[in-house]
Amino acid sequence: MVIVMAPEATQQDIEAIVGLVSRAGGDAFVSRGVNRTIIGLVGDIARFMNLNLGGMSGVAEVMRVSTPYKLVSRDHHPERSTVRVGNVPIGPGTITLIAGPCAVETPDQTLAAARMAQAAGATLLRGGAYKPRTSPYAFQGLGEAGLRILADVRAETGLPIVTEVVDAHDVELVASYADMLQVGTRNAQNFGLLQAVGSVGKPVMLKRGMSATIEEWLMAAEYIAQRGNLEIVLCERGIRTFETATRNTLDISAVPVVQRLAHLPVIVDPSHSGGRRDLVLPLTRAAIAVGADGVIIDVHPTPEQALCDGPQALVDGDLDELGRIVRELPPLMGRTLATGL
Ligand code: E4P
Ligand code: PEP
């Protein structure tokens, strides 16, 4: 059971609930978010039901949701949500193309990739300034210098920025540049980081952990939601399987499964899942056909020189076809390509 407190609830209101629940033999876990406090109750639900919690001072809503994830579930919020990044919607009715370089390397490379993304119809720019790498000897990203490049490219192109944060200590800094924070597959169950991004008041894209079940993924999203941030977009980016022909296996069925369980938008990353340029366009078609709310795609002006993930980056020659896919397929699904208008 979860109690959502009204924004004007006082400390006294919260303490009254915690006291009542504990006298009824239960435990109350208080989580203070940016705008709201949320209290999770553990114990005998039947006893809690007799406490008239909904009538207590400061209580906005009492949720008796049977799934372990509460705030992100469709039981709590039956309509599917739209998350806005700047003026760009991600949600039902549209397909949002997010594209850009895997890593920010130089100002010229980032601007060139942003122009490529825009030419294909992207309305959000992706690009990592902090790169989570398997090897500590691999390029780790430019850090704040990379964020400054992204901000300059945003000023030049008008594209809002989606960029990854890998450490809870950097959340404020990354959020001061980013329009949307990305939590990647490797940090998808870094609970301190999830709580930190939940507290900073910016939309968050949460990728699926490469070995996470759908329930674990949704519980990770619940960590962000519990801090008062429901501006969350989920991204299916492939999972670890026995198959080695692709980098990861895109779990395409996760898209409709998650859309039924959670009200949050679900997008697909055809670049990191397949890990191969030749698979990106076919997987993009599959993502749109299955009902994804968007796709996030790596593009690079010179992938043979890329410092990260060159083999999966689309090149100039792929852009016409990418543009055709994101403009022509969505109407067949009752959607339109998202613009920033
Ligand atoms: C990408 O954006 C990641 O940083 C990348 O996929 C990491 O993979 P690697 O470090 O194993 O090359
Ligand atoms: C990325 O999109 O830059 C990234 C690191 O992806 P993932 O976390 O899915 O590997």
pLDDT tens-digit map of 200-233: 999 999 999 999 999 999 999 999 999 989 999 9
Residue with CA nearest ligand 2 atom 3: 102
* Pairing outcome for strands 94-100 and 88-90: unpaired
Q: For residue 138, give the ligand nearest its CA.
A: 1
Rounded to the nearest angstrom, the distance between the alpha carbon of 272 and the centre of ligand 2 is: 6
Q: Judge whether 209 and 183 are in contact, CB under 8 Å.
A: no
Q: Tokens 């406090």 sit at which residue?
A: 37
Per residue in 92-132, pLDDT (tens digit) is 999 999 999 999 999 999 999 999 999 999 999 999 999 99
Spacing of C-alpha 168 from chain mean position: 16
Q: Do the Cβ atoms of 99 and 116 come closer than 8 Å?
A: yes
| CB of residue 184 inside a 6 A radius of ligand 2 | yes
User: What pLDDT score was predicted for residue 292?
Assistant: 98
In ligand 2, the atom with minimum distance to the C-alpha of 210 is 9
Pocket test for ligand 1, best of 105, 133, 210, 276 (most atoms within 8 A of CB): 133
Within 8 A by CB and 6+ apart from 96, the residues are 88, 89, 90, 123, 124, 267, 293, 294, 295, 337, 338
Helix (H) or strand (E) run with residue 41 in it = strand 37-42
Atom of ligand 2 at shortest range from CA of 185: 8
The pLDDT assigned to 17 comes to 95
Tell me which residues of the chain have a pLDDT lower than 70: none
Q: What is the dihedral of CA 224, 15, 58, 63, to 10 degrees?
A: 50
Query: Which residues, at least 6 apart from 317, have a Cβ–Cβ distance to it below 8 Å?
Result: none
The two most distant CA atoms of the chain are separated, in Å, by 67
Q: Is 341 exposed, middle or buried (0-12, 13-18, 19+ CB in 10 A)?
A: exposed
**50-69 residues labelled b (16+ CB within 10 A) or e (exposed):** ebebeebebbeebbebebeb
User: Which pLDDT score, from 0 to 100, does residue 253 have?
Assistant: 98
CA angle at 187 for the pair 133 and 213, rounded to the nearest 5°: 120
User: What pLDDT sits at residue 259?
Assistant: 98
User: Closest-lying ligand to the alpha carbon of 163?
Assistant: 2
Residue 63, pLDDT score: 87
List, for residues 68-88, the tens digit of each pLDDT value. 898 999 988 899 999 999 999
Rounded to the nearest angstrom, the distance between the alpha carbon of 121 and the centre of ligand 1 is: 25
Dist CA 113 CA 298 (whole Å): 9
**Residue 181 burial (CB < 10 Å; 0-12/13-18/19+)?**
buried
Q: Which atom of ligand 1 is nearest to the CA of 247?
A: 6
- Predicted pLDDT of residue 42: 84
